[in-house]
Structure 1
Amino acid sequence: MASSLTSSPPLHGALLFNGSAASPSSSQIVFHGVASFPRRCRRRRAQFQVRAEASPSNSPEQSGRRQVLLSGAIAASVFLSRVNSASFAAEAKKGFNAVSDKKDGYSFLYPFGWQEVVIRGQDKVFKDVIEPLESVSVNMVATTKQDIRDLGNPQEVAEALIKKVLAPPSQKTKLIEASEHDVDGKAYYTFEFTAQAPNFTRHALGAITIANGKFYTLTTGANERRWEKMKDRLHTVIDSFRIDETRTQKT
């Protein structure tokens, strides 16, 4: 069953793709600080403190120290804000591992627990060892096209890709939906489909785009019987797929 998942022809055989509140003032701080003094001492201590804070005899050195301390407090606040933002982002991706291929310029997330396997004709594959139909794979093929829209609309491209590449001829396929998305000025096509074999049906998602002189395809899916349980995680995988043209390196 697992082998049928990856038995489709490699991509290079497909004919499509070639060609808030303000801080309190110093006087407020001083008066707050002496609130615990006895009544008979409070007025004298308060007057002394206010005069000390307002006294013009404070040296430039002391003023400089206050500015340094204030700057340090602001920097610490900004740092903590960034840490909190990073923590929030990490929490939003809880349960996933990240893949970043700098050489080929793509990245995506996959569910924690899936393991990397080597499949001939595919650039990268991760799968669940217990449920082998639950997997994600990335393929690339050279193309002279500059934009995914040069190949046709989402429905046309997805249909051809599913029938010619993503499923063996023996399986009955059905395109459920296909759409176009723009991310950072680049067009991506995403689609959902099923591939029915004699003893199982795989429910899958795909994302495709063109960049760096390559046609990129990411597919992920699960057994139909586990689709409802897995679909949110699989959509996270698809939505995380990104191409970065600035990070590719020539070999």
Structure 2
Amino acid sequence: MAAASAAVVGSLRVPHLPSTRRRSAPPLLISSSASSTNWGRNSPGHQSRLNSAPDIGHLSLSYVPRRNIVASMLSSLIFSKLGSPDVTLAEPSVCFREYIDTFDGYTFLYPQNWIQVRGAGADIFFRDPFVLDENLSVELSSPSSSRYKSVEDLGPPQLAAEKVLKQYLTEFMSTRLGVRRESNILSALSRVADDGRVYYQVEVNIKSYASNNELAVMPQDRMQRLEWDRRYLSVLGVENNRLYELRLQSPENVFSEEEKDLRKVMDSFRVINAVD
């Protein structure tokens, strides 16, 4: 068996433990250019830089985040070697990169190991390389057909949330037989960010049910089963007479683990004056 790599802790060499999904990939240098279908993406207005932020994690009776499990295992290993309870282990931190698009006028943070996907149809699209249903994108209205002055032009937050949900359901329409969707608006709120602009934050849940035997004669053979259950987070803002929407998608079964990071991405979204 090949010798394990080692990390130095004081004067002690401790074998590295297998990393978690967040930390299993090395820092990835991401091209700051957006989809190749959008002109002007290679302009100097696109930047991507590293921003480190702590992630403390949390405990509950039914769930322990993976990063906490690894930290505890490593801490126990150090204690067993040193025999001293006075040694403390720092909590692993999640790093973020900042994406800045001065050409279209927006910026946000994203987890550093997420990868950019080109040709996805959005202005920009990033995806978790391990959980493919976890991703973010930015959509913006056409500059020639929109004259927004404020996000409040959409109406109150609840009305804006209904429009967002309707748009999601329209995009997820399926021609398959036996498909049913259930959706709920979980929250809709307005906030004033540190740039003085008003942003709407919308959170919805959508479940999709389908039958694997939709052409069966007997009703009991056409039973619908849950095929996916996802959380959708949207941030809406207005600048440059355009409506901007940051979209985040996460499967519900991993949302509780990723919630802190996803909300950090939401809170980081800003619209800025576009550079001509």
**TM-score > 0.5, shorter chain as reference:** yes
The correspondence of residues 226-245 of structure 1 with structure 2, limited to 5 A, is: 226-245=254-273
Query: What residue is the counterpart of 1:193 in the other structure?
Result: 204
Cα distance in 2 for residues equivalent to 1:219 and 1:91: 21
Q: Structure 1 202/123 Cα, relative in aligned 2: closer, same or farther at 3 Å?
A: same
Q: Which amino acid aligns with 1:203?
A: R
Deviation at 1:94, TM superposition (A): 4.4
Higher RCO structure (Cα 8 Å, ≥6 apart): 1
Cα distance in 1 for residues equivalent to 2:134 and 2:272: 26
The correspondence of residues 1-251 of structure 1 with structure 2, limited to 5 A, is: 90-92=52-54, 94-142=94-142, 143-165=146-168, 167-169=171-173, 171-183=181-193, 184-198=195-209, 199-245=227-273, 248-250=274-276
Q: Is the 8 A contact 1:97 1:112 kept in 2?
A: yes
Q: Structure 1 113/120 Cα, relative in aligned 2: closer, same or farther at 3 Å?
A: closer
Deviation at 1:222, TM superposition (A): 1.0
Deviation at 1:144, TM superposition (A): 1.2
Deviation at 1:172, TM superposition (A): 2.5
| TM-score (ref. length: structure 1) | 0.60
Cα distance in 1 for residues equivalent to 2:168 and 2:199: 18
Deviation at 1:195, TM superposition (A): 1.5
Cα distance in 1 for residues equivalent to 2:103 and 2:184: 34
| TM-score (ref. length: structure 2) | 0.54
Cα distance in 2 for residues equivalent to 1:160 and 1:222: 20
Q: What do residues 151-194 of structure 1 show as CA deviations (whole Å, max 9, x unaligned)? A: 20111111112212465235322110010011222110001111
Q: Is the 8 A contact 2:138 2:247 kept in 1?
A: yes
Q: Is the 8 A contact 2:94 2:111 kept in 1?
A: no
Cα distance in 1 for residues equivalent to 2:95 and 2:247: 19
Query: In structure 1, the residue corresponding to 2:122 is in which secondary structure?
Result: coil
Q: Which amino acid aligns with 2:155?
A: G
Judge which range, 128-137 or 168-177, deviates more: 168-177
RMSD: 2.1
The structure carrying a bigger helix percent of its residues is 1
Q: Percent identity?
A: 29
Query: What residue is the counterpart of 1:36 in the other structure?
Result: none
Q: Structure 1 230/94 Cα, relative in aligned 2: closer, same or farther at 3 Å?
A: closer
Cα distance in 2 for residues equivalent to 1:208 and 1:225: 25
Cα distance in 1 for residues equivalent to 2:238 and 2:105: 11
Deviation at 1:97, TM superposition (A): 1.4
Structure 1: any 5+ residue segments left out of the alignment?
1-88
Structure 2: any 5+ residue segments left out of the alignment?
1-50, 55-92, 175-180, 210-226
Q: Structure 1 90/223 Cα, relative in aligned 2: closer, same or farther at 3 Å?
A: closer
Q: Is the 8 A contact 2:52 2:96 kept in 1?
A: no
Cα distance in 2 for residues equivalent to 1:172 and 1:160: 16
Cα distance in 1 for residues equivalent to 2:239 and 2:202: 19
Q: Which structure has the greater CA radius of gyration? A: 1
Judge which range, 113-122 or 99-108, deviates more: 113-122
The structure carrying a bigger strand percent of its residues is 2
